[in-house]
Amino acid sequence: MAAPVRIVGLGGTLRAGSGTERLVAQVLDRAAALGAQVEQITGPMLALPLYAYGDPPGEAAEHMIEALRRADGIVLASPGYHGSISGLVKNALDHVEAMSRDPAPYFDGRAVLCLATGGGSQGANAALTTLRSITHALRGWPTPLGLAVNTAGPLFDEAGALVDPALAAQLDLAAAQLVGFARQTRASAGDAMTCDF
C-alpha cells in the first residue's frame, strides 16, 4: 500500500487563531479525511528572521523548509494587506530560496492551493492573484480552484463550524483537487523513475 501524500499548510498571521489560520486548518482537516498526512505552519511559527541571501536559515525556518521538502502538496494562505500578501507570508516564502538547488527545486512538482482572505473582496482577490503568481515563480502547480474569502462577516459559529455552506463546499472541492493532484504527481514520478527509456 502506497504511503499517504503529505500536505503542508503555510500562512496566516501572527495572531493565533486568525481567520486565515482557521481556514488553512479547515482545508487540512478535509485533506486528512481524504487520507493525506497533514502539517500546519501558521501563526507564531511564521515569525522568522528577515530573509537575507546566504544567511543560515535558523531553526524555525529550517523546520518550515524541511516540511516543504517532504510535501507532495501545499496550502499557501495569506490575508490581503494593502493590495498584496502580508510581509510575514512573503518573508516565509523568501526563505524557500534554500530549496533552489534541491532535486525538485522550490515547489517543483507540487500542487499548491492558494487561499487569500480580506475584509472585502478587493483585498482578498489581489492577495489571491499574488499567491498564484508566486506559486508559478516557485515552479508549483496552482490548483484550478483558488479561494478568495471575504472575512467582513462571520465565518464560524461559536462551535467553530463554518456558517456558509457554499464556502464549505468550495473548501471540499479545493482539498479534493489538492490531494488528487498530489497523488497523481507522486504516481507519475514513480512511473518515471521505473520507466526503461
Domain that holds residue 73: 6-194
> How many domains does the chain contain in total?
1
| pLDDT-based confidence at residue 193 (cuts at 50, 70, 90) | very low
pTM, entire model: 0.92
| Alpha carbons 102 and 89: distance in angstroms, whole number | 22
**β-pairing verdict for 73-81 and 84-85:** antiparallel
Q: 16: domain CATH number?
A: 3.40.50.360
Report CA dihedral (100, 105, 111, 113) to the nearest 10 degrees. 0
Contact 9, 38 (CB under 8 A): yes
Q: Which three cell numbers stand for residue 51?
A: 530573509
Q: What is the DSSP string of 40-92?
A: EE-GGGG-PPPP-TTS---HHHHHHHHHHHH-SEEEEEEEEETTEE-HHHHHH
pLDDT in tens, 102-111: 999 999 999 9
What is residue 170's three-state secondary structure? helix
| Alpha carbons 134 and 93: distance in angstroms, whole number | 9
| pLDDT-based confidence at residue 186 (cuts at 50, 70, 90) | confident
Decide if 1 is inside a domain: no
Q: Which amino acid is at 83?
A: G
